[in-house]
Amino acid sequence: MTGLLAYAWLLPLAPLVVFAIVLATGRKLPKNVVAGMGIGVMFAIFVASMGMLWAVAQGARFEGSVPWIEMKGVVIEVGILVDPLSVLMLIVVSFVSLLVQIYSLGYMADEERFRWYYGAISLFTAAMLGVVLSDGWLLMYMCWEIMGLASFLLIGFWFETEVASKAATKAFMVTRFGDVGFGLALAIMWFSAGTFTFEAVFKLVESGAWAGPTLVVATLLLFMGAMGKSAQFPLHVWLPDAMAGPTPGSALIHAATMVAAGVYLVARSFPLFEANPQTLTVVATIGAITAVMAALIATSVDDIKKVLAYSTISQLGLMMLALGVGSWVAAIFHLMTHAFFKALLFLAAGSVIHGTHTQDVREMGGLWRKMPWTTAVWVIGALSLAGIPPLAGFWSKDEILLTAFHKEQWGFLAVGLVVAMLTAFYMGRSTFLAFFAKPGATSKTDHAHESSWVMLGPLVALATITVVIGLVNSPMFGFAFGAYLGEHASGMNLSLAAVAVGAALAGIAYAYAMYQRGKANPDWYMRNRGIAPVLTKQFWIDDVYQRVIVAPTLVIAGVFRGMDVAVVDGVVRGFGKVGMVVSALLAKFDRGVVDGAVDGLGNGVIDGGRETRKIETGNVQTYLLLLVASIVVLLWVFAR
């Protein structure tokens, strides 16, 4: 079975071949054949990954590389590494991708560019598999960028609409900004360590051969790449807009896998970060800010996909926080559970959108009668995200809180608890509004219908996983997950777990009181106007906020929402504006001064010619006179 590992390099190539076939054949193949290829290949990869899991769990590992560039002592290699972490990621990616592709059979059935969609999904999966399999940062970076390209293609899937094309461009641009850091980190790594391979660099760092400022800068730059991809503050602005793409694509790329690549990058490079406590503090702080900010924003968003998008940002922040306080296993565990239940939530949201043709929770309500299956799986996903036992989210979130607790990072522990409560609240809010509250006046649920089984099947599968997967790192199975990744389990603290669950229940209860018992209107931040002066100001912001206008504010949700649009996004746009102004000025300078000097030279010659040509009158006698005069002058000059 270990022999299988040596063939792991085939895994990313298979979907790439599918992509190539789609590119080459265009519309010639029947839709079902294209989808069948994608699903079949993904199923095979999933099965192979399970086989690898079996081998790896028994201690097998594989690393193999080929020279990419080789000359006179300089060898740059690219290769694959199969170890517990990469196999785990393989399974997550291939499984989610498989289910998403099956689900898309129903969801995308009427799309004109159905085949292209499958091609792009395959391209993305190939790149993502490449990222998790690579044995060094160079190959990882290459696949990382292809992943970005695939993300660009999927966000811009409906490229005819302005929203989609702008969102695609923005997503690529913002992540590319982070990737610049990644690229620079590569350059620093090359001259400091002389290699891009994980193992070799880790050895150098452990032995102290590579230390000092270059290492600090390199880790910070690597983290910059992770921030872009994992939508960390302040580079998170692209992710909510990225929801313009098809929902299953969002589920795969912008919820489960690609956005987690930043977390994976940091986890993979963890020995580097571990050697730099200051970088870890930065990571944890950025994670904490992101988690709280995004959670607050999520409480005030009405687009069901955007709620999930902000929730994803918040959860990714939580993973970064886990990494920052020093537990990459907790981060990866949460990454895995989050991948499953967030994909579940996204696909369920897709089912809702498919059934109601709206994304606004205020236009839904009472869906549980019309879409019972969707409601059931959504609730499982939402409870898991809220951290209610025994669902997956509870275990992984508990792990993160526990790490902070053990490391005595009280500030970060408090952040974790606040986020847990906020998460429960906003999930409760959208759940009650969309599924359980009575439909409001603006409701569009009259013609809502349950989705077909091709869409429900993957949902049920994911819901089942969500119920059971958290147990792999529970006392019941002896914290098998931590052991598998080679780290000692940190155990379980019942009182801490109780506090966390209490916070979550409080959040749900408040949401219940607010949105199920009361009407959805006015929303929570509006209702609190009379109670707390701080929240009164929030209302003032909400006025602006409802028109989606930039507004700075003292009230936190408003502040962050305002910041999202005005400051962070504004800086990006501002840079663009400044860039445009500067470039316009430079272009003028180019035309006026630099070019002017050259034109001046040419014009001088032309003008001179124009003046001299007046002598040529065409009159023969004038010429003759000039001739004689010239001779006289010459004689006078030379014959004197």
User: Rounded to the nearest whole angstrom, what is the least distance from the CB of residue 151 to other proteins in the complex?
Assistant: 13
CB-CB neighbours of 344 under 10 Å: 32
Distance CA 491, CA 473 (A): 9
Distance from C-alpha of 238 to C-alpha of 178, rounded to nearest angstrom: 12
The nearest distance, CB 56 to other proteins, in angstroms, is: 28
Angstrom distance (rounded) from CA 536 to CA 526: 8
Q: How far is the CB of 22 from other proteins (least distance, A)?
A: 11
Report the alpha-carbon distance of residue 395 to residue 405 in Å, rounded: 15
**Structure-token match 């205020």, residue found:** 362
Give the interface with other proteins as residue ranges (CB under 8 A). Answer: 23, 26, 67-72, 74, 141-146, 149, 156, 159-160, 162, 164-166, 168-169, 172-173, 176-177, 180, 183-184, 186-188, 190-191, 576, 579-580, 582-584, 586-587, 590, 594-595, 598, 601-602, 613, 616-621, 623-625, 628
Distance CA 565, CA 226 (A): 22
Give which of 288, 193, 186, 185 is closest to 233, Cα–Cα. Answer: 288
CB 204 within 8 A of CB 171: no
Going by C-alpha positions, the residue among 136, 185, 329, 237 that lies closest to residue 561 is 237
Region label for 512, one of left (φ > 0), alpha (ψ between -120 and 50) or beta (otherwise):
alpha
Least distance to other proteins, CB of residue 188, Å: 6
Q: Whole-angstrom Cα distance, residue 394 to residue 114?
A: 37
Quote the least distance from Cβ 200 to other proteins, whole Å.
17
Give residue 99's identity as a one-letter amino acid code.
L
CB of 601 to other proteins, least distance (A): 8
Pick the closer one to other proteins by CB: 169 or 285.
169
Residue type, 261: A
Closer CB to other proteins, 110 or 112, in the complex: 112
Shorter beta-carbon distance to other proteins: residue 70 or 199? 70
Rg (CA), the chain: 31
Beta bridge partners of 79: 65
Give yes or no for a cis peptide into 234 (omega within 30° of 0): yes
Residue 6 Cβ, how far from other proteins at the closest point, in Å?
A: 21
- Which ranges of 453-493 would DSSP assign to H, the alpha helix? 453-468, 480-484
Beta pairing partners, 77 = 67
Which CB atom, from 187 or from 209, has the smaller least distance to other proteins? 187
Minimum distance, C-beta of residue 229 to other proteins, in the bound complex (Å) = 14
- Residue 571 makes CB contacts below 8 A (sequence gap 6+) with 234
Residue 226 C-beta: closest distance to other proteins, Å: 17
